[in-house]
Amino acid sequence: MPNDVVTMDKIVSLCKRRGFIFPASEIYGGLHNSYDYGHYGVLLKQNVIAQWWKAMIQERDDIVALDSAIIQHPRTWEASGHLAGFSDPLVQCLGKCKRRFREDHLREEAEARGESTDHLVCPVCGGELTEPRAFNLMFETTIGPVKEDGATVYLRPETAQGIFLDFKQVLQFARRKPPFGIAQVGKSFRNEITPGNFIFRTLEFEQMEMEFFVPPAEAPQWHEHWLKERFDWYVNLGIDPEHLRLRPHDADELSHYSSATSDVEYLYPIGWSELEGIANRGDFDLTQHAKFSGEKLDYVDPQTGDRYIPYVIEPAAGVGRSMLAFLCDAYDEDEIGGEQRTVLRLHPALAPVKVAVLPLLRKAGHPEKARAVYEELRRHMKAEYDDGGAIGRRYRRQDEIGTPFAITIDHQTIEDDTVTLRDRDTLEQERVPVEGLARRLLAKLDPGVV
């Protein structure tokens, strides 16, 4: 467990209670493995994505951005191998419950319990299981008004392929040469049938993927480079390094396109699981798309005249899985004045709200002054005004959503234009002037946070 208090149930319940994330289509009884993101969930998600772009684009000059279509030409998925090979082994219960399971998951679970995998049975009702059958994970749809006459297309199962299709265009307009990368964030879709463990595994999810094109001989060293960069990214955003590890894939686990992959794994409350995959895709994708499209997708070095198909190193992260890891690692419970408090110790860069402004009373000029302070602060950072309920409860509400700072306007503010500034983690309260408040807070937040 990341720490001794967090459980998946507590995260799910906090997310629902505070409107971060909740089941989709709930008024119709929900839809399995589908979730909606509410106000704070959207803000947290935006912050995670912003930090990823910052690491990829702002802090480097060898990566450019792309936003490619979700629905691409269907040949894309023939070339990429997804039509033939992107499948899970599915078994169905022949007993009472008739449920479907992933055979590889049942096998792993049996192994984890130290049981034999020679004869797997239904984990729900103990019934016999069918032989495994390959089940493609891509969602299929049709372009055109009539399904029968239309063209079958697919919702992308990874954002990566759009990058490979545009490789040549980007080479030209971005005037780049390997090593260089193309980064993209967007939705991907997979027909996942196993229970998803909240947002760990969902039908639709956002990916943050970057394809880094390198001269073939440099691929191993760039793979190492990206393993370190991506591991450090999570640590720099507050994840305890003890809760992270790099796990190289065994040969039988590798995807059809990969010659080497390591996962960044996080110690979720469900155990160690994949947070991000970092693969050496070799020249598989560009070679396949060149073959299927007839376009030349190799690179010619203008200086040396060398012609080669670049190898690709791919750090592929999930926004939802990152959010889940950040939430689990930040979750804490403590006691203040005999009262229990739930607090998200989120890194300030990720916190949905940076500062809360709270008038002590709903009279005596407090709300007016607090509103003025809030309106000034929100020009600089995400701020929230709250005048509802006892001050202690308002602090608790902000602690629960991970707000690093709270400012209270009280009698003294009206007299001398000072406020109290409370720190979420140390609980220290200092008296500071309203003048220069934004500058003071910006200095306390890490650079690049707002």
Only one of the segments 83-91, 107-115, 199-207, 438-446 lies at the binding site for ligand GAP (rule: CB under 6 A); that segment is 199-207
Q: How far apart are CA 276 and CA 145, in angstroms?
A: 39
Give the Å distances, CA to CA, from 416 to 186, 410, 438: 50, 10, 18
Residue window 319-348: x/- pattern of binding to ligand GAP, with contact defined by CB under 6 A:
-xx---------------------------
Query: Phi/psi at 156 (nearest 5 deg)?
Result: -60, 135
Report the SS3 class of residue 235. helix
Find the binding residues for ligand GAP in span 369-408 (CB under 6 A). Answer: none
Residue closer to ligand GAP, measured from CB, 229 or 274: 274
Q: How far apart are CA 379 and CA 390, in angstroms?
A: 27
Count CB-CB contacts under 10 A for residue 163.
23
Residue closer to ligand GAP, measured from CB, 35 or 395: 35
Under rule CB under 6 A, residue 201 binds ligand GAP: yes
Interface with ligand GAP (CB under 6 A), residue from 205, 226, 266, 326: 205
Under rule CB under 6 A, residue 298 binds ligand GAP: no
Closest distance of CB 43 from ligand GAP, Å: 20
For residue 277, how far is the Cα from the chain centroid?
Answer: 12
DSSP E strands, 310-385: 311-318, 331-336, 339-344, 355-359, 383-385
Only one of the segments 139-147, 305-313, 314-322, 386-394 lies at the binding site for ligand GAP (rule: CB under 6 A); that segment is 314-322
DSSP 25-37: TGGGT--TT-EEE
Residue closer to ligand GAP, measured from CB, 237 or 381: 237
Closest distance of CB 191 from ligand GAP, Å: 9
Find the binding residues for ligand GAP in span 258-297 (CB under 6 A). Answer: 274-277
Interface with ligand GAP (CB under 6 A), residue from 47, 80, 184, 207: 207
Closest distance of CB 224 from ligand GAP, Å: 19
Interface with ligand GAP (CB under 6 A), residue from 179, 318, 348, 359: 318
Interface with ligand GAP (CB under 6 A), residue from 82, 168, 190, 424: 190
Closest distance of CB 197 from ligand GAP, Å: 10
Q: Nearest residue to ligand GAP, using CB?
A: 318
Q: How far apart are CA 348 and CA 442, in angstroms?
A: 11
For residue 255, how far is the Cα from the chain centroid?
Answer: 21
Q: How far apart are CA 41 and CA 12, in angstroms?
A: 12
Residue window 208-227: x/- pattern of binding to ligand GAP, with contact defined by CB under 6 A:
-x------------------
Q: Which helix (H) or strand (E) holds 438?
A: helix 437-444
Residue window 55-94: x/- pattern of binding to ligand GAP, with contact defined by CB under 6 A:
----------------------------------------
Under rule CB under 6 A, residue 160 binds ligand GAP: yes
Rounded to 5°, angle at Cα 247 from 243 and 250: 155
Report the SS3 class of residue 121. coil
Closest distance of CB 202 from ligand GAP, Å: 4
Only one of the segments 42-50, 315-323, 331-339, 440-448 lies at the binding site for ligand GAP (rule: CB under 6 A); that segment is 315-323
Q: CA end-to-end span of the chain, whole Å?
A: 31
Structure tokens at 268: 């979720």
Q: Where are the alpha helices (DSSP H) in 282-365?
A: 284-293, 319-330
Strands 405-409 and 355-359 turn out to be parallel
Name the DSSP letter for residue 129: B
Closest CA to 381 of 292, 290, 448: 448
Residue closer to ligand GAP, measured from CB, 321 or 422: 321
Closest distance of CB 446 from ligand GAP, Å: 25
Closest distance of CB 258 from ligand GAP, Å: 9
Q: How far apart are CA 240 and CA 226, in angstroms?
A: 19
Tell me which residues touch ligand GAP (CB under 6 A). Answer: 158, 160, 190, 192, 201-202, 205, 207, 209, 274-277, 314, 316-318, 320-321
